[in-house]
């Protein structure tokens, strides 16, 4: 397994280079220029009525700014410079405020990780029991009702659900049961007791967590159900039942373990989601996380921030895929990387 993991790590290097290069080209070739946005956003107010000399000065200032940012070089050269800095874990400085990209990510990272860890925990906590129940009670009217409800949840877009929550439960037009934005109350004080701080924080993230969780557990529960039903028809399950094992042991020890394989493969998406955050949810509820940072950076054509977030997400995706493959050998003893290497 060690040799397999080492070979996969070596293959990840050219994959990562190719992914980041394509993303770099797409970002730079997309419509919009950070220098133009910077100038026309305020520095060149009244430019339409400016004199010829004034226009010439503005154009010279734009060219000087492009040289300072390195945007006057060919794209392959720009990528080489950016990747060289990336290898040294230097993501550069933001075009928007000249702050180091790492600093902007670090200050928002705890928020995004907290939201996603809670969402992932609740997703698996709900999805696995639901999948087990649906497979055991397949065909019954409670299972049919549950299946219909789950499909309805999965079909609801998160931005629509988030908007409805703001309108109905966050003081929009009806009830003010939850705060509409932010992570803390207006009268928040760091000197509050820990329990009060946790209660206030949980109150603020409750609705964003609901929006991030409902569709995920709906989908995972369906995967779990299908996997359970498929494994229930296997010969080893019939053999276990023929030996007189209790049904609970057959389900939990024999069917469930093999049914967890699809759940493990989905772990590949968990690492990048911890860092990438949810752009839609964080924007709707004004959560100062990584998703909101990326959204604002795209609007401002802040290349270093966008590419820094993309590079981190890409690396974590590749690592997540590798970890998922290795964990498959733990869940499924039939998988042996040692035989594949021979």
Same-domain status, 79 and 121 = no
Answer whether residue 92 is part of any domain.
no
DSSP state at residue 49:
G
Q: What is the dihedral of CA 270, 276, 277, 283, to 10 degrees?
A: -160
pLDDT digit string, tens, across residues 277-333: 578 888 888 888 888 888 888 888 888 999 998 898 888 888 888 887 777 766 666
pLDDT digit string, tens, across residues 179-192: 888 888 888 888 88
Phi, then psi, of 71 in degrees rounded to 5 = -85, -5
If you count DSSP H runs as helices and E runs as strands, how many of each does the chain have, helices first?
A: 17, 0
Per the structure, the complete domain to which residue 75 belongs is given by: 2-87
Count the domains in the chain: 2
Same-domain status, 139 and 75 = no
Same-domain status, 47 and 171 = no
Same-domain status, 54 and 151 = no
Q: Identify whether the C-beta of residue 85 lies closer than 8 Å to the C-beta of residue 92.
A: yes
Measured distance CA(322)–CA(120) in Å, rounded: 19
Answer whether residue 95 is part of any domain.
no
What residues does 93 pair with on adjacent strands? 100
What's residue 20's pLDDT? 92
pLDDT digit string, tens, across residues 236-293: 888 888 888 888 888 888 888 778 777 777 766 666 666 665 788 888 888 888 888 8
């Amino acid at each position: 397994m060690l040799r397999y993991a080492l070979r996969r790590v070596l293959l990840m290097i050219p994959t990562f280079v190719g992914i980041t290069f394509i993303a770099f080209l797409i970002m730079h070739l997309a419509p919009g220029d950070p220098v133009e946005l910077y100038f026309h956003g305020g520095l060149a107010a009244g430019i339409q009525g400016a004199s010829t000399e004034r226009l010439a000065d503005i154009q010279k200032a734009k060219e000087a700014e492009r040289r300072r940012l390195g945007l006057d070089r060919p794209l392959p050269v720009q990528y080489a410079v950016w990747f060289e800095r990336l290898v040294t874990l230097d993501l550069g400085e933001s075009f928007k405020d000249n702050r180091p990209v790492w600093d902007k990510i670090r200050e928002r990272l705890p928020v995004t990780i907290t939201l996603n860890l809670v969402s992932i925990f609740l997703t698996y906590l709900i999805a696995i029991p639901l999948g087990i129940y649906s497979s055991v009670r397949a065909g019954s009217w409670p299972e049919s009702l549950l299946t219909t409800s789950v499909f309805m949840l999965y079909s609801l877009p998160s931005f629509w659900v988030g908007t409805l929550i703001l309108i109905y439960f966050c003081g929009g037009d009806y009830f003010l049961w939850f705060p509409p934005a932010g992570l803390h109350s207006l009268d928040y004080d760091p000197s509050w007791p820990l329990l009060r701080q946790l209660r206030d924080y949980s109150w603020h993230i409750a609705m964003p967590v609901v929006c991030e969780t409902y569709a995920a557990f709906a989908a995972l529960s369906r995967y779990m159900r299908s996997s359970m039903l498929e494994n229930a028809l296997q010969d080893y399950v019939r053999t276990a039942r023929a030996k007189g094992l209790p049904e609970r042991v057959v389900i939990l020890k024999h069917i469930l373990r093999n049914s967890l394989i699809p759940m493990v493969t989905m772990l590949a998406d968990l690492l990048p989601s911890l860092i990438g955050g949810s752009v839609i949810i964080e924007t709707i509820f004004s959560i100062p996380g990584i998703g909101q940072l990326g959204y604002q950076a795209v609007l401002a054509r802040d290349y270093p921030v966008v590419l820094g977030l993309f590079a981190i997400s890409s690396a974590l995706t590749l690592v997540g895929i590798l970890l998922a493959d290795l964990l498959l050998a733990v869940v499924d003893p039939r998988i042996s990387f040692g035989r594949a290497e021979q």
